[in-house]
A = this chain, B = another copy of it.
Amino acid sequence: MSTLPTERTPTERTKIKRHPERAVYDRETVHAILDEAFLCHVAFSVDGQPHVLPTAYGRDGDWIYIHGSAASHMLRSLTTDVEVSVAVTLVDGFVLARSAFRHSLNYRSVVIFGKARFVSDPQEKHSALRTITNHLVPGRWEEVREPNEQEMRQTSVLALALGESVAKVRTGPPLDLADDISERVWGGVVPLRLEPSAPQADQHVKAETPVPDTARLKRSTRS
Stretch at the interface among A1-9, A23-31, A85-93, A117-125: A85-93
**Which residues does chain B contribute within 8 Å of A215, judged by CB atoms?**
96, 186, 188, 190
Count of chain copies: 2
Asked if A183 meets B209 with Cβ closer than 8 Å, knowing A18-B69, A89-B39, the reply is yes
Q: Which of A102-145 contact B (CB under 8 A)?
A: 103, 105, 107, 109, 111, 113, 129-130, 133, 136-137, 140-141, 143-145
Judge whether B43 and A51 touch: CB under 8 Å: yes
**Which residues does chain B contribute within 8 Å of A45, judged by CB atoms?**
45, 48, 50
Judge whether A111 and B53 touch: CB under 8 Å: yes
User: How far is it, in angstroms, between the C-alpha of A191 and the C-alpha of B194 when the chains are bound?
Assistant: 10
Judge whether B41 and A136 touch: CB under 8 Å: no
User: How far is it, in angstroms, between the C-alpha of A197 and the C-alpha of B194 when the chains are bound?
Assistant: 11
User: How far is it, in angstroms, between the C-alpha of A82 and the C-alpha of B173 when the chains are bound?
Assistant: 34
Task: Please give me the residue from chain B that is nearest to A145 by CB atom.
Answer: B99
Minimum CB–CB distance from A106 to chain B (whole Å) comes to: 10
**Which residues does chain B contribute within 8 Å of A69, judged by CB atoms?**
18-19
A79 contacts B by Cβ under 8 Å: no
Asked if A94 meets B136 with Cβ closer than 8 Å, knowing A41-B52, A141-B100, A188-B215, the reply is yes
State how many residues of chain A have any CB contact under 8 Å with chain B.
95
Task: Please give me the residue from chain B that is nearest to A98 by CB atom.
Answer: B144
Per-residue CB contact flags for chain A residues 33-50 toward chain B (1 = under 8 Å, else 0) read 000000101111100111
Q: Identify which of B44, B143, B189 contacts A202 (C-beta below 8 A).
A: B189
User: How far is it, in angstroms, between the C-alpha of A145 and the C-alpha of B102 when the chains are bound?
Assistant: 10
> B-contacting residues of A (Cβ < 8 Å)?
13, 17-19, 39, 41-45, 48-54, 56, 68-69, 72-73, 76, 83-87, 89, 91, 94, 96-101, 103, 105, 107, 109, 111, 113, 129-130, 133, 136-137, 140-141, 143-148, 151, 154-155, 173-174, 176, 180-181, 183, 185-206, 209-212, 214-215, 217, 223
The 7 A-B residue pairs with the shortest CB-CB distance, nearest first, are: A43-B43, A43-B52, A41-B41, A173-B202, A101-B151, A43-B50, A54-B89
